[in-house]
Amino acid sequence: MHPALEFEDVSFSYHTINGEVPAINHISFTVKKGEFISIVGPSGCGKSTLMSLICGLITPESGHISIDGMPLGSQTSKIGYMLQKDYLFEWRTVYDNVKLGLEIHRLDPKESNIDTMLENYALKDFTDAKPSELSGGMRQRAALIRTLALEPEILLLDEPFSALDYQTRLEVGGDIANIIKHEHKTAILVTHDISEAISLSERVLVFSARPATIKASIDITFPDECKTSMDKRNSAKFQNYFKLIWEELTNETK
Ligand code: ADP
């Protein structure tokens, strides 16, 4: 089986009037189908550039990116996004927001799985509500269902929880990660929050300062009894992972 995503020796620089700004430097990594990985790195290191490369907004200067074994751009495979802001339209009901992507693509919501998802993810009773009536967590779930309705193969999560208050953020992060697992999606989360990366993902890639290189790829595993992200945060392994990632991030000479 091909990996969901593969970067092979990818480099990218911005060209400005003040010269070249190398952003990504010979990066190689793969993401397996159904895997949830996080990317952490210093601000300005090239994380957004990496996301832009994956969604084809910019193309590598050298190296190759493939999705499901095919060069990026050569297939109809879809990338879904979750951003910091949920971009729900306040004048539309939850249902009308959730079906928006389908509407734009002229697809019939009745033939989609949105009703099942609204039911599974505790929004069925709110289909006629306006987004302003929902909690922060419910809004993010609605935004995720809207994205999943288009059946993306890879989900890019760009700091999707950073606008939420701390407590909501903990709950919503766990909820969203569970939904993504349940729907068997491949996900790439960019976050500044080391704890979030450890508690939600199966692997953390640590990027160096610009131009980004991969300093470490750390597999995250917890004992079976650690089911929720809070269980993980309270386990002894969590502190070890945190220390390991912190050391990688702060040791720039390595
Ligand atoms: P991050 O998301 O990790 O904060 P970015 O990928 O946004 O980092 O940016 C990486 C580097 O590239 C930064 O130094 C940034 O200033 C530079 N950069 C980003 N976009 C542009 C652009 N359009 N033109 C020139 N330089 C850019």
CB of 45 within 6 A of ligand 1: the answer is yes
CB of 16 within 6 A of ligand 1: the answer is yes
Structure tokens at 203: 């692997």
Query: Which phi and psi (to 5°) does residue 241 adopt?
Result: -65, -40
Q: How many residues belong to the chain? A: 254
Give the residue among 57, 79, 51, 32 at the shortest CA–CA distance from 203.
32
Q: Which fold has domain 5-250?
A: Rossmann fold (3.40.50)
User: β-pairing, 203-207 with 62-67?
Assistant: unpaired
pLDDT of 253 above 70 = no
pLDDT, tens only, 35-57: 999 999 998 999 989 999 998 88
What value does the mean pLDDT take over residues 59-71? 93
Sign of CA dihedral 47, 4, 13, 58: negative
pLDDT of 75 above 80 = no
Q: Whose CA is nearest to atom 7 of ligand 1?
A: 48
Whether this model's pTM surpasses 0.85: yes
For ligand 1, the distance from its centroid to the CA atom of residue 23, given in whole angstroms, is 7
CB of 123 within 6 A of ligand 1: the answer is no
User: β-pairing, 79-82 with 154-158?
Assistant: parallel
Q: Is residue 38 a contact partner of residue 196, using CB atoms and an 8 Å limit? A: yes
Rounded to whole angstroms, the maximal C-alpha distance in the chain is: 55
CB of 52 within 6 A of ligand 1: the answer is no
d(CA 32, CA 152): 15
Report residue 156's pLDDT band, with 50, 70 and 90 as the boundaries.
very high
Question: Looking up tokens 């990660």, which residue turns up?
Answer: 177
The per-residue pLDDT for 104 is: 87
Q: Domain residue spans in the chain?
A: 5-250
Q: Is residue 153 a contact partner of residue 4, using CB atoms and an 8 Å limit? A: yes
